[in-house]
């Protein structure tokens, strides 16, 4: 069993436990559940940088990145830096995140928030809405086409947007469908953790212009972003490059300033 299979097996157990403790109706009564979402797709289309800055404490591939971080300070720092949106890891076991991180980020910043999670169940979509998320991530590698359709339709019915993540041509062909807002190409193979930026450039021409193209993982230079822009990418998800520093918001500000030059 590879790490991705293990994560999904654990996630199924986690969701089953949560369902037995907190009914979905409780999330639907949350104060934030009725909040009108902010469009990340629109922000990316109209931005001159396209940066989605991520809050991530650790990962299976890198270990601890920034364990003692204050998510509210990081979120506010990213907003002040000029990011288009904020990605918040909510998986606890493998990434050190929590749903509460979404709440804290939502309280600190008005930017669109992406719930970065291994979403496999409609329960998690409702959770995301109840905790202030504007966008959910769906990972093609762990979902069937019918799963993607069901989960994306629920998200859209709740006013949220959907970022679909693919890693190769097979996933792209199997998963692409109306109702998605953004197509993310993850340059990191979730089974081997190898990172190759040409994953994005290779798949770019096969992504219709109806979708905002987002490149994820392994982006650490202005040159990489400029190259990806030439292939039609408008969004760039960056986490480790900012989070590994003492002040992620400051690092993001410096990076975005250079990008605008």
Q: Which of 161, 165, 171, 240 is catalytic?
A: 165
Is 165 among the residues known to form the active site? Answer: yes
Q: Which of 47, 59, 152, 186 is catalytic?
A: 186
Beta strands in the chain (DSSP E): 51-55, 58-59, 63-64, 85-89, 113-116, 135-139, 161-166, 182-186, 212-216, 235-238
Alpha helix positions (H), 94-197: 99-108, 122-130, 145-157, 169-175
Token digits of residue 12: 């199924």
Is 56 among the residues known to form the active site? Answer: yes
Q: Apex CA 159: angle with CA 229 and CA 155, to 5°?
A: 80
CA–CA separation, 221 and 55 (whole Å): 18
Alpha helix positions (H), 22-114: 24-28, 40-45, 71-81, 99-108
Q: Which of 59, 76, 87, 116 is catalytic?
A: 116
Q: What helix, strand, coil percent values describe the chain, rounded to 5?
A: 45, 15, 35
Is 116 among the residues known to form the active site? Answer: yes
> Parallel, antiparallel, or unpaired: how do β-strands 161-166 and 135-139 relate?
parallel
> Parallel, antiparallel, or unpaired: how do β-strands 135-139 and 113-116 relate?
parallel
CA–CA separation, 95 and 103 (whole Å): 17
Token digits of residue 235: 């969004």
Q: Which of 87, 200, 215, 217 is catalytic?
A: 217
Q: Which of 187, 216, 240, 251 is catalytic?
A: 216
Is 213 among the residues known to form the active site? Answer: no
Q: Which of 11, 56, 129, 213 is catalytic?
A: 56
Tell me the catalytic residues: 54, 56, 116, 165, 186, 216-217
């Amino acid at each position: 069993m590879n790490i991705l299979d293990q994560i999904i097996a654990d996630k199924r157990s986690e969701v089953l436990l949560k369902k037995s403790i907190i009914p979905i109706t409780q999330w639907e009564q949350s104060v934030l559940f009725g909040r009108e979402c902010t469009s990340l797709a629109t922000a990316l289309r109209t931005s001159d940088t396209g940066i989605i800055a991520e809050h991530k404490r650790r990962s299976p591939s890198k270990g601890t990145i920034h364990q003692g971080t204050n998510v509210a300070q990081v979120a506010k720092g990213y907003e002040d830096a000029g990011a288009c949106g904020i990605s918040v890891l909510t998986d606890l076991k493998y990434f050190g995140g929590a749903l509460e991180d979404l709440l804290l980020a939502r309280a600190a910043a008005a930017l669109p928030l992406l719930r970065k999670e291994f979403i496999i169940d409609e329960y998690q979509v409702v959770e995301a809405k109840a905790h202030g998320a504007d966008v959910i991530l769906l990972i093609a590698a762990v979902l069937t086409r019918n799963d993607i359709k069901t989960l994306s339709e629920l998200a859209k019915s709740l006013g949220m947007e959907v970022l679909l993540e693919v890693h190769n041509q097979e996933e792209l062909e199997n998963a692409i469908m109306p109702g998605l807002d953004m197509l993310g190409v993850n340059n990191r193979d979730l089974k081997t953790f190898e990172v190759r930026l040409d994953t994005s450039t290779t798949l770019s021409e096969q992504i219709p212009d109806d979708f905002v193209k987002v490149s994820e993982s392994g982006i650490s230079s202005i040159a990489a972003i400029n190259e990806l822009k030439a292939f039609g990418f408008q969004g760039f998800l960056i986490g480790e490059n900012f989070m590994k520093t003492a002040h992620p918001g400051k690092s993001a500000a410096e990076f975005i300033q250079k990008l605008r030059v």
